[in-house]
Amino acid sequence: MGVYIIRNNQQFGPYDDSSLVTYVSSGHLLLCDSLYDDNSGKTITVRQYLKSRNLKVKVQNGGSIFSQLKNIGTELLIPKNAFKSSNIISDKRLLILSLVGLIPSILMFLPINGFLVFYLVSLYFAIIWGLFFYYFFKTSQVDIETTIITFFATQICVFLFWDVLGLPNLNPFYLFTDMAFPFSAIGYILGVGLTEEFVKLIPLLIICFRAKSPQIPQTIVYYGFISGIAFGVFEGVQYQMTINAEQEYDVAYFLNILRLTSLPFIHAVWCSIAGYFISFAFLYPKYRIALYFLALVIPTLLHGLYDTFCGTLLGSVIALPIMFVTVILLNAYLKQGVNYQSKLCN
pLDDT tens-digit readout, 40-74:
888 999 999 999 999 989 888 888 888 888 888 87
| Alpha-carbon span 226 to 231, nearest angstrom | 9
Is 114 in the same domain as 259? yes
Question: Exposure string (b/e) for 107-140, b if CB count within 10 Å is 16 or more?
Answer: eeeeeeeeeeebbbbbbbbbbbbbeebbeebeee
Give Cα 117 distance to the centre of its chain.
Answer: 23
- pLDDT tier at 1 (50, 70, 90 boundaries)? low
Amino acid 171: pLDDT: 92
Flag whether 210 is in a domain: yes
Is 52 in the same domain as 93? no
213 neighbors 326 (Cβ within 8 angstroms):
no
Flag whether 68 is in a domain: no
Domain that holds residue 34: 3-60
Is 195 in the same domain as 340? yes
Flag whether 285 is in a domain: yes
| Alpha-carbon span 116 to 239, nearest angstrom | 14
Flag whether 281 is in a domain: yes
State the angle between helix axes of 320-335 and 262-283 in degrees (0 to 180), rounded to the nearest 10.
30
More reliable by pLDDT, 99 or 295: 295
Flag whether 78 is in a domain: no
Is 142 in the same domain as 255? yes
Is 50 in the same domain as 167? no
Is 29 in the same domain as 145? no
Give Cα 274 distance to the centre of its chain.
Answer: 19
Flag whether 163 is in a domain: yes
Is 336 in the same domain as 239? yes
- Say yes or no to pLDDT of 8 above 80: yes
Is 197 in the same domain as 302? yes
Is 213 in the same domain as 316? yes
Is 100 in the same domain as 26? no
- pLDDT tier at 150 (50, 70, 90 boundaries)? very high
- pLDDT tier at 168 (50, 70, 90 boundaries)? confident
Flag whether 50 is in a domain: yes
More reliable by pLDDT, 281 or 312: 281
Is 99 in the same domain as 56? no
Calculate the average pLDDT of the chain. 89
What tens digit of pLDDT does each residue of 244-280 get?
A: 888 898 888 998 899 899 999 999 999 999 999 999 9
Counted domains in the chain = 2
- Percentage of the chain exceeding pLDDT 70: 99
More reliable by pLDDT, 148 or 86: 148
At position 182, the amino acid (one-letter code) is P
45 neighbors 34 (Cβ within 8 angstroms):
yes
More reliable by pLDDT, 1 or 299: 299
More reliable by pLDDT, 250 or 78: 250
| Alpha-carbon span 238 to 253, nearest angstrom | 15
Decide: residue 310, CB within 10 A, 0-12 exposed, 13-18 middle, 19+ buried: middle
Is 138 in the same domain as 233? yes
Flag whether 70 is in a domain: no
| Alpha-carbon span 48 to 34, nearest angstrom | 10
